[in-house]
Amino acid sequence: MTSRYHEAHRRSLADPDGFWGEAAGAIDWIRRPTRILERQENGTGRWFPDGVLNTCWNALDRHVAAGRAEQPALIHDSPVTGTVQRFTYRELLDQVARFAGALARLGVTKGDRVVIYMPMVPEAAVAMLACARLGAVHSVVFGGFAAAELATRLDDARPVVVVSASCGIEVNRVVAYKPLLDEAIRLATARPRHCIILQRPMLAATLEAGRDLSWADAMAAATAHDCVPVAATDPLYILYTSGTTGQPKGIVRDHGGHAVALRWSMENIYAVAPGEVMFTASDVGWVVGHSYIVYAPLLTGATTVLYEGKPVGTPDAGAFWRVIADHGVAVMFTAPTAFRAIRREDPEGRLLAQYDLSRFRALFLAGERADPPTVEWAQDLLRRPVIDHWWQTETGWPIAANCMGLGLMPVKPGSPTVAVPGWDVRCLDAEGQEMPAGDVGALAIRLPLPPGALPTLWNAEDRFRQAYLAAFPGYYQTGDAGFLDADGYVHVMSRTDDIINVAGHRLSTGAMEEVLAGHPDVAECAVIGVADALKGQVPLGLVVLKAGAGRNSEDIARELVQRVRDRIGPVAAFKTATVVQRLPKTRSGKILRGTMRAIADAEDYRMPATIDDPAALDEIRAALAAIGYAAG
């Protein structure tokens, strides 16, 4: 018997116009589209090209009009400041409409860009939605980004206004944002006419006369602004992601496809209904925060939790359980690295017993590969579905998932399950030919991409084609490597540049990490391919042990080498595992494998702009030098 998932996926590929035309019925249109997919010569497509709508109306106004005015829309939970704020749909709409008026008063109009450089505060979401209300294009830059990185984004987006805050709050420190913003503006050639600064009580910022004004003053002088109609194909936002050249890539998201795809995903992937609570532990500076903190829950009429804290340390490894219990969370979404941190600090899960999770239904993980031991640990602890799913900044929503709203399928550890309806996932060899089931190759998406995926890069159409379409004509190149098994399950092993060549054998570092992570003393790990004069490359394992692991680290390292030899075989040439105190990561939790490989091979590298703690790289450099690497 065909499952609901299989029928939905089949129909989405066979009849995309019918499938997505039906899904568009969940969105309010000023002019409902009569054309659903307009195919382009290069195989891509534009969705709902003659449709007109407003994303902010769909996220706020229509819910107030439909009777949800007094329902909570956004809960700001901030353990670093010890505060919780709740905004009903009516209250959030009032804030957004007034801030839209404040932006308009400074000259922001449809199509203008506004850069948002904010911590995890409600005003960040208000600013995003206010831009959508005006038809302006927002570009959120992760709060605390270095001045030089912010300057490159100012020069590319050329904003009329920058919205920022006086500071961000970390666990043990206050990060002053205004000096970083001032320096970025000094370095940039495209300087904004105005800056609006949220003055937080922990640290006041100095405002520059004639350019800067406080959030409070901007709101006091403003009047509410109505929604501005925009074309479905107009840009809603630009979100910059790292580029291989050092120049960031501005991912463009359009209004119509974005709204339709995210609304569909909430019901069919996450099974979150209007009125329910979703907690996405990410940041509005990342795509996960855009899609599943701000837009998707509000487009659905759900309640979203915006969390200003950490998985551990605010105050302990029970922080997520408290948020779920306090706010009646139904579904949570976070990165696997967060749960590895929780597991490391509280391996027995004792803190969970303090909290009532009776309304909690499922945990979703994405951001990097979810290793089976972490997934299994979370399943055993929570006794609820733990769903690994795969997507990217470029795609805007999941490519592969176990779609809870379409009926859960059997779980295969290490796999994000199957391609989501709308996504035609293939595994290709270097010549673009499909690989047999089980063979590792490049994961690619057959064009056209579904609604919600990037239509282009900001002011860089040629770069878009070269980066994503040129390698495999007719396909979008994901940059991820893996395989499809005989049941059609997707297995994402690593980035394509993390496939290493050991004496002519193509091996996945992700498969080796899976073996290492299964050791009972390992909290998290990374495997990198380092240069070898004989074999070309050999794998090197870096592991972090769980808190309380009292055994000799050299004994554990020997066991790890043997595990890889037993599970993968001598072909892996895995001979070295070394214990480190921590792994360097981006602020979104991704391990900096490429940077560590460059250090090990004594190559030049650029300090990643998104690194969470630069000192972690110094520790890795010392650890590598101690075992004979990084000699240069």
List the one residue out of 285, 290, 359 whose CA is nearest residue 321.
359
Q: What is the largest CA-CA distance in the chain?
A: 71
Beta bridge partners of 72: 88
Instruction: Mark 53-78 as b/e (b = at least 16 C-beta within 10 Å).
Output: bbbbbbbbbbbbeeebeebbbbbbbb
Give the count of alpha carbons within 13 A of 502, CB side only: 19
The C-alpha angle 106, 111, 112, rounded to 5 degrees, equals 35
Exposure of 265 by Cβ count < 10 A (0-12 exposed, 13-18 middle, 19+ buried)? buried
For the chain, percent of residues with pLDDT exceeding 70: 96
pLDDT exceeds cutoff 60 at 246: no
CB contact set of 544 (below 8 Å; sequence gap of 6+): 344, 522, 523, 524, 525, 579, 580, 581, 582, 583
Q: How confident is the model at residue 222 (pLDDT cuts 50, 70, 90)?
A: very high
List the one residue out of 520, 588, 266, 248 whose CA is nearest residue 376.
520
Question: In this structure, what token pair is assigned to residue 11?
Answer: 């129909």
pLDDT per position as a tens digit, 368-398: 778 888 899 999 999 999 999 999 999 999 9
Q: How confident is the model at residue 245 (pLDDT cuts 50, 70, 90)?
A: very low
pLDDT exceeds cutoff 60 at 323: yes
Torsion of CA 23, 111, 302, 199, to 10 degrees: 170
Chain mean position to CA 543 = 24
Q: Omega before 451 cis (within 30°)?
A: no
Give the pLDDT confidence score for residue 632 in this predicted structure.
Answer: 43
SS3 88: strand
Phi, psi of 53 (to 5 degrees): -160, -175
Span 307-325, average pLDDT: 96
**Is the model more confident about 504 or about 286?**
286
Q: What pTM was computed for the model?
A: 0.85
pLDDT per position as a tens digit, 173-206: 999 999 999 999 999 999 999 999 999 999 999 9
Q: Omega before 373 cis (within 30°)?
A: no
Of 68-82, 244-258, 404-418, the poorest mean pLDDT is in: 244-258
- Structure-token match 């063979």, residue found: 439
List the one residue out of 301, 136, 161, 128 whose CA is nearest residue 230.
136
List the one residue out of 189, 195, 222 whose CA is nearest residue 208.
195
- Structure-token match 């597991």, residue found: 343
* Number of neighbours of residue 415 by Cβ within 10 angstroms: 22
Instruction: Decide the pairing of beta strands 425-428 and 441-446.
Output: antiparallel
What does the alpha-carbon distance between residue 120 and residue 118 come to, in Å, rounded to a whole number?
A: 7
List the one residue out of 471, 489, 532, 487 whose CA is nearest residue 507.
532
Span 59-65, average pLDDT: 98
pLDDT exceeds cutoff 50 at 157: yes
Instruction: Decide the pairing of beta strands 45-47 and 37-39.
Output: antiparallel
Give the pLDDT confidence score for residue 592 in this predicted structure.
Answer: 86
pLDDT per position as a tens digit, 124-141: 999 999 999 999 999 999
Q: How confident is the model at residue 509 (pLDDT cuts 50, 70, 90)?
A: confident
pLDDT exceeds cutoff 60 at 244: no
pLDDT per position as a tens digit, 397-406: 999 999 999 9
For the chain, percent of residues with pLDDT exceeding 90: 73
CB contact set of 550 (below 8 Å; sequence gap of 6+): none
Question: In this structure, what token pair is assigned to residue 352?
Answer: 């969970």
Give the pLDDT confidence score for residue 497 in this predicted structure.
Answer: 62
What domains are defined for the chain?
A: 87-228 (3.40.50.980), 503-626 (3.30.300.30)
Mark out the alpha helices in 369-444 (DSSP H runs).
Answer: 372-382
Give the pLDDT confidence score for residue 506 in this predicted structure.
Answer: 58
Span 576-596, average pLDDT: 85
Strand spans (E) along 485-555? 490-495, 499-502, 505-508, 522-532, 536-545
Torsion of CA 289, 291, 294, 298, to 10 degrees: -150
pLDDT exceeds cutoff 90 at 102: yes
For the ranges 167-171, 356-360, 520-524, 590-594, the maximum mean pLDDT occurs at 356-360
**Contact criterion met (CB below 8 Å) for 26 and 230:** no
What does the alpha-carbon distance between residue 587 and residue 598 come to, in Å, rounded to a whole number?
A: 20
Instruction: Decide the pairing of beta strands 400-401 and 277-280.
Output: unpaired
Mean per-residue pLDDT of the chain? 92
pLDDT exceeds cutoff 90 at 512: no
